[in-house]
Structure 1
Amino acid sequence: MAMKKFDLEKNKALKLMQSTHKAGPERFGKDSTPATLDRREQRKLDQAAGLVPFACKLNADLVAQLKTRAEQHPEGLTGLLTELLQAGLAKDAS
């Protein structure tokens, strides 16, 4: 069974697109962006800073409020939560 010319050209185009997306030298200024840390490196930095992961389940409305406030916070969500928890714990202690 012979392939139609359109299908042959389509396959050529797909092969070309796949070859351009394979690992190779980065192009168009992608090398100029700072390298991001992989998860393992980030975990080591967090541990050195005394940070530990802490997961909990919160109401969706509360999470939305936190995310909104965290956008303006200089340290993001983690900084905002740290501030709020410390303030809450200090209030309970007094």
Structure 2
Amino acid sequence: MKKSDMEKKKAMKLAGNMRPAGTGAPFGQDAAVTLDRRDQRKLDQAAGLVPFAVKLHSDLVAQLQAVAQARAIGMNEVVAELLLKALADQPK
């Protein structure tokens, strides 16, 4: 590594350290609780949720996103609702 590259990295590190830390929540408001992946996975498992990956065409995903955005709910809820409805409509 060149000396100039090392100096650039040092400068970037110093600039990053000089940035102010994020401010807390305004008075009277609770700070948003952020969970790490492990904690989120434990909560999902406790709720009986299982990760289920599928590959869909981009136009179908865009339609799902539009429905989720219009109804102000998450993609998981939209997909679960549509799957339940489609499975209920299937002849037995």
Which structure would you say has the larger Rg?
A: 1
1:39 aligns with 2:37: yes
SS at match of 2:64: helix
> Within 2, Cα distance between the matches of 1:38 and 1:73?
27
Q: Which has the higher helix share?
A: 1
Question: TM-score, with normalisation over the residues of structure 1?
Answer: 0.69
How far residue 39 of structure 1 moved from its aligned partner, in angstroms, is 0.5
Percent of residue pairs identical? 49
- Residue in 2 that maps onto 1:50: 48
Question: Mapping of 1:6-85 within 5 angstroms?
Answer: 14=12, 16-21=14-19, 26-27=21-22, 29=23, 31-32=24-25, 33-85=31-83
The DSSP-based 3-state class of the residue aligned with 1:58 is coil
Q: Is the 8 A contact 1:73 1:79 kept in 2?
A: no
Q: Higher RCO, 1 or 2 (CA under 8 Å, sep at least 6)?
A: 2
Unaligned 5+ residue runs, structure 2? 1-7, 26-30
Q: Any idea what SS the aligned residue of 1:36 has?
A: coil
Shift of 1:84: 0.3
TM-score (norm 2): 0.71
> In the comparison of the two structures, how many residue pairs are matched?
81
